[in-house]
């Protein structure tokens, strides 16, 4: 099985927890991260001042936050296919 490598090239804040993400192959995804704001790693991103500090890591070419949170760029690239499973997994992380 071939696992394509995608690189995030641009991000644009659309509304409070939603980003428009551009990839190196020209694909764009608009992702609402609100359902991911659970657990130790992603829960702190509910604080919009932290969420808005999102950057593109120059090495991994994915989204990263100062608290160490990040996402697999392939998952973000194919978000419609992964959204439901990711949200179900996030529910198990607790409300923190």
- Predicted confidence band at 63 (pLDDT cuts at 50, 70, 90)? very high
Is residue 86 domain-resident?
Answer: yes
Q: Which two tokens stand for residue 55?
A: 């950057």
- Specify whether the CB–CB gap between 12 and 83 falls below 8 A: no
CATH number assigned to the domain comprising residue 43: 3.30.2020
Is residue 3 domain-resident?
Answer: no
Who has greater pLDDT, 31 or 80? 31
pLDDT at 67 over 60: yes
pLDDT of the residue at 1: 66
Is residue 55 domain-resident?
Answer: yes
pLDDT of the residue at 22: 98
Is residue 20 domain-resident?
Answer: yes
pTM assigned to the model: 0.86
Q: How do residues 11-50 score in pLDDT, each as one tens digit? A: 999 988 999 999 999 999 999 998 888 888 889 999 999 9
Residue-range definition of the domain harbouring residue 68: 8-91
Q: Number of folded domains in the chain?
A: 1
Q: Which two tokens stand for residue 13?
A: 């804040």
Burial letters 58-84, b for 16+ CB under 10 A, else e? eeeebbbbeeebebebebbbebeebbe
């Amino acid at each position: 099985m071939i696992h394509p490598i995608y690189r995030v090239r641009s991000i644009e804040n659309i509304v409070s927890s939603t980003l428009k993400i551009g990839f190196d192959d020209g694909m764009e995804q608009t992702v609402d991260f609100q359902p991911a704001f659970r657990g130790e790693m992603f829960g702190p991103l509910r604080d919009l001042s932290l969420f808005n500090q999102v950057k593109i890591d120059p090495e991994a070419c994915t989204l990263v936050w100062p608290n160490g949170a990040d996402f697999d760029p392939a998952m973000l690239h194919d978000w419609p296919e992964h959204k439901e499973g990711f949200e179900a997994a996030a529910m198990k992380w607790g409300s923190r």
